[in-house]
Amino acid sequence: MFDIWMSSPREFPRFAEYSETANSSRGIVDTGPTFRAFFPMRMAENRSSLRGYKGPAEVTNSRVICTSPIVTDFRIKTMDHGGAIITGKVDWDEIPAPFDRIYTDKLPLNCTIPASGSATLGRTELSICMFQVSPGIALHSGIKYNSWVGTRAFLITNTTIPQQMFRVLHSNIPDPGEGSQYSDIMLGGFDRFPTNKMDRHSEIPWTRLRVTKSSYQMSLDMTLCWINMGSYSHNIEAFSAQDAPETSLLWDKAKKGYYTDGVISMLGAKNIRENPEHRGLMNLRENGEWRTTYGLYSSAEWPDEFPASSMFAYETLRTALDSINGIIQLPEKFQWSADANLHRAQSEIFRDILQDTRNPALALQALFTVLIEMIYYEWLPVFTVEDDCTILASLKVLGPVRWTGFIVVASNCVVHIVLFSIIAFIFYKRTSISLLGSFWSAASQVISPDTFKIVENASEMTDSEVLRALRRNDDHKRSVRVCYLADADRSEARYEANTVPDRPRRDKFYERSRRSYFSVSDTAELHHQIGRFHPH
C-alpha cells in the first residue's frame, strides 16, 4: 500500500457532485450535505470527455461539521525535540440532525501539537488530531447502507507559540523582560490551565487559549470537526453539458510554492460554492438508488456490521490514520519540517483554504476528498466485480472552422478530381494499340528493326548499361513510339522519323486495343521474355 499521507495526485480526478444547503445553527460551521461519486475510469481523458454516466460508482458524503470544543482538565507538556502534548477532556454543544449522540461521555484528548523552533512570533503551526469515537456517536451520511459507520472526530489546532515560549505560560514564571532566565519546570511534567483561560465563540468554531506577557502574545486555537468517511458502491446517474480537463497543481516560482487556486475551486472549498459544472465537475442526480433518510437511533442497539466488501476506502483510510497515530502535521508554508507527515502539496491546499475562508470545515472536506480519491483509484485495478454501465462521451474531430479553410480544402479536392478526369479521358481516347496486361503483345511490339540491336544485346545488361549504350550512338535523343506499319502489317516500336500514320482498323481486336494502355510493368516482364527468345 502506498503512503497516502506523503503522496499527491498528479491530476485531481473529475467526479460528480450533489450538494444541499448547509445547516445554519448557532455555534457550528457546516459544509452541508455534499455527495460525491467517483467514476470507475482510470484514464483521465475518459473522465474529461464524459457527458453522461449511468452505472456503478463509489459514493461518499464529504460533509464536515465543526464546532467550538469545550475543553476541561486541559494540560500541556513540552517535548525535548519540539512541540508539545495536550491532554484533557473534550465536550461540545448540541449539534442538530443528522448528528446523533446517544452517550454523553466526553472525548479523551491526547494530541501532539507542533511549535516553531524559532523565536519569531506570529508564525502558525497546524496539526490535525483524530479522536477514537464511541459507537454511540454518529454523523449520518445519508447513503445506503449503514449510514452511521465511518464517523470520525478531528481536532484541528493552530499554534502561534514558539517552542521556548511554552515556558512562560504560567503566571508565576518571571516575565522575560525582567532579565530572568527561562525555567524548564514544564519539561517532564504537565501544566494545567483553568478553563477561564479558554475563550470560546470569539471566532466560531474556534476555542482559543490566549496568554499575554508584556510584548509577547501567544495563542492556541482549537476546533472540533466531525466527518463521515464511509463510502459505498451504488448505481448513479451523472450528467454534464461540457467537457472538462482535469485540474493539476502548478508550481509558482514567485512564491516558491504551489498555485492552488485551480484545485481549491474544483473542490468547492470557497465561502461561495459554484455550480459543479462551473468547477469542471459533473452533476450527480439524487435518487433512491443510493440516498436514504438519516434514521436516528434512540437506543444503544446498533445494526449489524457492514458487509466485508463495502467501505474499503474508509477501512484503508482508518488504517492509514493508525499508522501515524492519528496525528497529521502541517508545517508552515515554504518551510520544510522533519515532523511533517503530509505531502507539501496537500498541506498547502489545506493552509490556503483555511487562510482564505477561515473555515476549517471546508479545508478538512477538501483534504479527505483528495485522500479518498487517491485510495479509490489506487485500488481500482484490483476490483474484479463487473457490471453494466451507460456512458455518453464527446469525441473530438478536426474540421475547418472558417470559410478560408473550407475553400482551400474544397478547391484542392475539385482540382484533384478535374486533373484525374482529364488524364483518364486522354488515356482512353489516345490509347489505340497497346493492350494493358498483355505481355506477349508488348514483347512483340517492342521488337522492330529500329530496336532489334538494343533488344538483342540487352538480355544480360542492366538499365544503366543499356542507357550508356544508347548514349554512345545518340539514340537516346530520339523519340520512340509504338505505331502500326502498313508494310509489315503489324504494330511495333519505331523512331519518330520512321513512322507513318496508323492504318484505321475496324476489326474486333483493334476496337479492344484502343481502350488499353501501355503499362510500365509490361517492360519489366519484357526483359524476362526477350532473354528467353534471344540467348547469347
Across the chain, which has 536 residues, the per-10-residue mean pLDDT values are 79 94 85 93 92 91 93 78 80 88 86 64 73 82 74 87 51 36 34 55 76 61 90 89 91 85 94 91 86 50 38 70 68 55 87 90 94 87 79 85 85 96 87 74 82 82 84 68 76 69 44 39 44 41
Distance from C-alpha of 432 to C-alpha of 511, rounded to nearest angstrom: 8
How large a percentage of the chain has pLDDT more than 70? 69
Q: Which of 383, 403, 418 is the last residue of a domain?
A: 383
131 & 69 share domain: yes
Q: Which tens digit of pLDDT belongs to each residue from 293-316? A: 554 443 333 333 333 345 666 677
Based on the domain organization, do 192 and 60 belong to the same domain?
Answer: yes
In this structure, are residues 123 and 116 in contact, taking their beta carbons and an 8 Å threshold?
yes
Q: Which among 367, 383, 399 is the end of a domain?
A: 383
Supply the pLDDT for residue 165: 53
Which of 361, 383, 405 finishes a domain? 383
Q: Both 378 and 446 in a single domain?
A: no
CA–CA dist 524, 49 (Å, integer)? 54
Distance CA 277, CA 439 (A): 70
Tell me, yes or no, whether 230 and 317 share the same domain: yes
At 202 the pLDDT is: 59
Give domain status of residue 144, yes or no: yes
Q: Is 116 in the same domain as 60?
A: yes
Amino acid at 11: E
| 246 and 130 together in one domain | yes
State yes or no: cis peptide before 258, omega within 30 of 0: no
Q: Is 321 inside any structural domain?
A: yes
Please check whether residue 398 lies inside any domain of the structure: no
List the domain range (segments joined by +) for residue 53.
Answer: 11-383
Residues 308, 245, single domain; the answer is yes
Q: Are residues 438 and 367 in the same domain?
A: no
Q: Considering the domain boundaries, does residue 21 fall inside one? A: yes
- Looking at 79-228, which runs of residues are DSSP E strands? 84-91, 99-101, 107-113, 125-131, 137-139, 151-159, 191-192, 198-203, 206-213, 216-228
pTM of the model: 0.68
Residue 393, exposed/middle/buried by CB under 10 A (0-12, 13-18, 19+)? middle
Same domain assignment for residues 131 and 28: yes
Q: Are residues 351 and 453 in the same domain?
A: no
Beta carbons within 8 Å of 178's beta carbon, 6+ residues apart: none
Counting the structural domains of the chain, the total is 2
Cβ–Cβ under 8 Å, residues 189 and 75: no
Co-location of 442 and 502 in the same domain = yes
391 belongs to a structural domain: no
Residue (of 132, 136, 135, 167) closest to 153 by Cα position = 132
Q: What is the pLDDT of residue 156?
A: 92
In a domain, 405, yes or no: no
**412, part of any domain:** no
Is 423 inside a domain boundary? no
Cβ atoms of residues 249 and 260 within 8 Å: yes
pLDDT tens for 420-454 read 999 999 888 877 777 767 778 878 888 888 788 88
Claim to verify: residue 320 and residue 448 sit in the same structural domain: no
